[in-house]
């Protein structure tokens, strides 16, 4: 069967080439539309139940959080449940087993939640969090008022009622969370003495306000051939509207709200503050991406929406980016793309040097980019995201992708050499075809067998599986594509780029150039220049090993034994640290921190961080944003630090700075850059951020890493201590 496929493709080479071009065009289209991200999504399937109730944390814990957690303990596929209670809020995080579909999990949670809701206290407002992953915070922004004419409550109102809804309409955005500023509300302060004088209970006042702030319908009046709707409009839109609300009538005289209370505009209780560049309070937003979306496309659409909204912004106000994951995605993909190109060039040069025959080398050289390009088609339909790990799978398989082509080409090369040495008996096309059919089946199955080595990776579960499965998928898919090309495209190309007679047209130099590129010269292994050089080294080494076998084996065993202590001293880590280009500073203070003190500490920290010339932008947050994905208390601070490109960092003298000539310094910079290092910068930041009462040592991390750690362990670091007890007193 394989031989028939090889023969068909070799004899119908133009059809194969045309089909390859069509599939290549499809691959390019898919490459521009496939999901892109910096890292695989390592987060578990998570559903959040968010509840609001104006009570203290201990009451919320007993009457809201605990009943919801216990009701969900029997839900299918649940791995862990975490409950948090705060002033006025309850958060329940349900973590599902690996591979659970998010929307199936959300429907199961709703099913169980419907059973417990009737048993919750009156007034508890329960909702599901956004359909996003734990690392869905892909973009953050702040509103900067250059004119200093807009107050924080005006900026927050614009963010809440205009900008937030515009961004939330962008495809792929699950939620836009507001942070900072003041939320305006009408505040009614009742005078208890006047209540007593008018003999009014407080609940009567509340009921009157609620009933008056309403609109009711009447009947229809017909007049002069037209109809008019009768309605009572009672919506309160100003302080005077509230003051005019009737709360009681005595002997036909109305008692108005202003008679017993004062009405004023004021801020809502703040459970979160934000700060920009050490300049003070700021209003911002957090864009949360929907599960399964293309992060890069979502961010680009959000940026386009901001450009569209520019004319609608208040005068003097502009949107500044405080976190943008697309920078990391593009840098990571560009780096890997560059390395892939370099690797393909190196492999191509090695093939060209060792074959020493340009027409034969063209086949594997063409096979490399075609295999890489075609592998994105199955990745797209299987839902594999293009990220560092999936591209790494392709990178480590590049050398193996051309194994089949090299074996086929070299076999055909040797057959044609012997055919030419024997006086060119028979048709050389038939010689080439027989050479391809001779090794084609073996090559096809050998490439598939190599892919089997990565099958155990698919057995990994949880974070290990989510990290390494994209690598195994891309590696095996690339190998499968290479196996198919070895029996289809490679025979077609070999038949196309094989000419035995040199060209004879004029000009002569062009004829010779064409003959070198498309005909070439066939050498035996004894006359091949590279083979002769290798044999000169290999022959004495081989003779020495065969002469002293025992000594060689003993030396090998000794080297293995000596490496054991070194191996035992090696450290281990789940994955190498990825420098995201953005830092996240997460210090903590004692619980019970006031809003004013949190603002002071936050601004002090941000001023220190912004003073570093390597820092481009600083956006700090203390407390929670207006989202169920952020249960942070005031004692927990998060400052996003956007760094400038390393080429703009402070210069630092190195051992070569004083004596090395200018042309030599770039060589040394690749090993030891002449600017301050990443580790030195972090050490300087840690030293300057020592603030009494603030735990800042070890608080410097990175946004994606921190989200993964918090989702995995429930705390902000990979290592922590959890203390269990029957009650709070026992735990303390």
Lookup result for tokens 């194969």: 16
List the beta bridge partners of residue 287. Answer: 139, 176
Residue 512 pLDDT > 80: no
| Residue 31 C-beta-side C-alpha neighbours within 13 Å | 14
pLDDT computed for residue 78 by the predictor = 92
CB within 8 Å of 266: residues ≥ 6 apart: 184, 185, 187
List the beta bridge partners of residue 317. Answer: 145
Assigned CATH for 185-267:
3.30.2090.10
Distance, in Å, from the CA atom of 295 to the CA atom of 509, rounded to the nearest integer, reads 53
Highest averaged pLDDT of the listed ranges 227-241, 300-314, 625-639, 710-724:
300-314
pLDDT in tens, 328-347: 888 877 877 777 778 777 77
The CATH 3.30.70.1320 portion of the chain extends over 137-182+281-324
Q: Which of 436, 490, 495, 489 is nearest to 19 (CA)?
A: 489
Distance, in Å, from the CA atom of 199 to the CA atom of 110, rounded to the nearest integer, reads 45
Q: What is the 3-state secondary structure (H, E, C) of 361-411?
A: HHHHHHHHHHHHHHCHHHHHHCCCCECHHHHHHHHHHHHHHCHHHHHHHHH
Assigned CATH for 137-182+281-324:
3.30.70.1320
Residue 714 banded pLDDT, cuts 50, 70, 90: low
pLDDT computed for residue 111 by the predictor = 92
Cis bond upstream, residue 507 (ω within 30): yes
Distance, in Å, from the CA atom of 39 to the CA atom of 385, rounded to the nearest integer, reads 9
Average pLDDT in the 594-600 region? 88
Average pLDDT in the 598-626 region? 92
The CATH 3.30.70.1430 portion of the chain extends over 46-128, 582-731
Burial code of 645-655, b = ≥16 C-beta within 10 A, e = fewer? eeeebeeeebe
The CATH 1.20.1640.10 portion of the chain extends over 2-20+329-569
Residue 392 pLDDT > 90: no
The CATH 3.30.2090.10 portion of the chain extends over 185-267
CB within 8 Å of 55: residues ≥ 6 apart: 63, 88
pLDDT in tens, 177-223: 999 989 988 899 999 898 888 888 888 888 888 888 777 777 888 88
Please tell me the total number of residues recorded for the chain in this structure: 732
Strand residues in 237-387 grouped as ranges (E): 246-250, 253-256, 261-267, 272-276, 283-289, 317-324
Distance, in Å, from the CA atom of 402 to the CA atom of 167, rounded to the nearest integer, reads 47
2-20+329-569: what CATH class? mainly alpha
Highest averaged pLDDT of the listed ranges 40-44, 200-204, 354-358:
200-204
Residue 11 banded pLDDT, cuts 50, 70, 90: confident
Q: Where are the alpha helices (DSSP H) in 117-256?
A: 152-158, 164-168, 192-197, 202-212, 239-243
Torsion of CA 449, 454, 458, 463, to 10 degrees: -170
Residue 499 pLDDT > 70: no
Residue 176 banded pLDDT, cuts 50, 70, 90: very high
Average pLDDT in the 499-503 region? 60
Distance, in Å, from the CA atom of 606 to the CA atom of 128, rounded to the nearest integer, reads 34
pLDDT in tens, 76-128: 999 989 898 988 899 999 999 888 899 999 999 999 998 898 899 988 999 99
Q: Which of 652, 641, 581, 590 is nearest to 612 (CA)?
A: 641
pLDDT computed for residue 449 by the predictor = 81
**Does 582-731 carry CATH code 3.40.50.10260?**
no
Distance, in Å, from the CA atom of 375 to the CA atom of 260, rounded to the nearest integer, reads 75
Q: Is the distance from CB of 473 to CB of 390 less than 8 angstroms?
A: yes
CB atoms within 10 A of CB 17: 15
DSSP secondary structure, 69-123, as one string:
HHHHTTSTTEEEEEEEEETTEEEEEEEEPTT--HHHHHHHHHHHHHHHGGGSPTT
Lookup result for tokens 């206290």: 121
Architecture of domain 46-128 in this structure: 2-Layer Sandwich (3.30)
Distance, in Å, from the CA atom of 564 to the CA atom of 552, rounded to the nearest integer, reads 19
Residue 509 pLDDT > 70: no
What pTM value is reported for the model? 0.82
């Amino acid at each position: 069967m394989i031989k028939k496929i090889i023969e068909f493709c070799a004899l119908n080479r133009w059809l194969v080439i045309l089909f390859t071009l069509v599939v290549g065009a499809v691959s390019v289209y898919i490459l521009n539309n496939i999901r892109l991200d910096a890292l695989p999504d390592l987060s578990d399937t998570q559903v959040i139940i968010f509840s609001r109730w104006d009570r203290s944390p201990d009451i919320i814990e007993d009457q809201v959080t605990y009943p919801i957690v216990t009701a969900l303990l029997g839900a299918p596929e649940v791995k862990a449940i975490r409950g948090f209670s705060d002033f006025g809020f309850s958060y329940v995080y349900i973590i599902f087993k690996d591979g659970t579909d998010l929307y199936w999990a959300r429907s199961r949670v709703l099913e169980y939640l419907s059973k417990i809701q009737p048993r919750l206290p009156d007034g508890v407002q329960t909702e599901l969090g956004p359909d996003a992953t734990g690392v869905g915070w892909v973009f953050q922004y702040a509103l900067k008022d250059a004119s200093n004419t807009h107050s924080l409550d005006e900026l927050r109102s614009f963010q809440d009622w205009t900008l937030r809804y515009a961004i939330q309409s962008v495809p792929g955005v699950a939620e836009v969370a507001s942070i900072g500023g003041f939320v305006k509300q009408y505040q009614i302060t009742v005078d208890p003495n006047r209540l007593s004088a008018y003999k009014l209970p407080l609940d009567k006042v509340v009921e009157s306000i609620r009933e008056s702030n309403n609109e009711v319908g009447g009947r229809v009046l017909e007049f002069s051939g037209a109809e008019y709707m009768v309605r009572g409009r009672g919506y309160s839109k100003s302080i005077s509207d509230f003051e005019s609300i009737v709360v009681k009538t005595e002997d036909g005289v109305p008692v108005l709200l202003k008679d017993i209370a004062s009405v004023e505009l004021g801020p809502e209780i703040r459970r979160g503050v934000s700060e920009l560049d050490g300049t003070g309070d700021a209003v911002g937003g957090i864009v949360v991406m929907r599960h399964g979306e293309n992060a890069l496309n979502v961010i680009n659409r959000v940026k386009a929406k901001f450009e569209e909204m520019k004319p609608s912004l208040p005068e003097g106000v502009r949107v500044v980016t405080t976190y943008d994951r697309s920078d990391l995605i593009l840098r990571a993909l560009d780096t890997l793309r560059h390395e892939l190109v370099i690797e393909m060039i190196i492999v191509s040069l090695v093939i060209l040097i060792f074959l020493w025959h340009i027409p034969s080398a063209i086949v594997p050289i063409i096979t490399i980019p075609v295999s890489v390009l075609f592998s994105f088609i199955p990745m797209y339909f299987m839902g594999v995201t293009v990220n560092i790990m999936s591209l790494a799978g392709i990178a480590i398989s590049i050398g193996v992708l051309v194994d089949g082509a090299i074996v086929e080409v070299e076999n055909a090369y040797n057959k044609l050499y012997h055919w030419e040495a024997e006086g060119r008996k028979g048709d050389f096309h038939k010689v080439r075809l027989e050479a391809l059919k001779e090794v084609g089946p073996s090559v096809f199955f050998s490439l598939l067998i190599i892919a089997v080595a990565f099958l155990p990776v698919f057995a990994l579960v949880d974070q290990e599986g989510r990290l390494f499965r994209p690598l195994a998928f891309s590696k095996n898919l690339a190998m499968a594509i290479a196996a198919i090309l070895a029996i289809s495209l490679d025979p077609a190309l070999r038949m196309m780029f094989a000419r035995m007679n040199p060209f004879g047209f004029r000009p002569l130099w062009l004829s010779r150039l064409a003959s070198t590129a498309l005909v070439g010269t066939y050498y035996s292994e004894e006359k091949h220049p590279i083979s002769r050089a290798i044999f000169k080294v290999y022959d004495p080494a081989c003779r020495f090993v065969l002469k002293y076998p025992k000594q060689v084996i003993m030396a090998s065993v000794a080297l293995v034994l000596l490496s054991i202590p070194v191996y035992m001293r090696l450290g281990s880590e789940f994955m190498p640290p990825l420098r995201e280009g953005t830092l996240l500073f997460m210090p903590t203070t004692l619980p019970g921190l006031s809003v004013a003190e949190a603002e002071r500490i936050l601004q002090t920290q941000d001023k220190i961080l912004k003073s570093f010339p390597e820092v481009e932008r600083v956006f700090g947050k203390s407390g929670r944003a207006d989202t169920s994905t952020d249960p942070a208390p005031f004692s927990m601070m998060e400052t996003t630090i956007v760094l400038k490109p390393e080429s703009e960092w402070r210069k630092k003298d190195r051992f070569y700075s004083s004596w090395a000539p200018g042309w030599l310094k770039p060589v040394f910079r690749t090993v030891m850059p002449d600017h301050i290092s990443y580790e030195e910068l972090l050490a300087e930041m840690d030293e300057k951020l020592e603030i009494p009462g603030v735990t800042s040592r070890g608080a410097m991390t990175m946004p994606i890493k921190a989200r993964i750690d918090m989702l995995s362990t429930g705390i902000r670091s990979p290592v922590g201590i959890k203390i269990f007890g029957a009650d709070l007193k026992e735990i303390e």
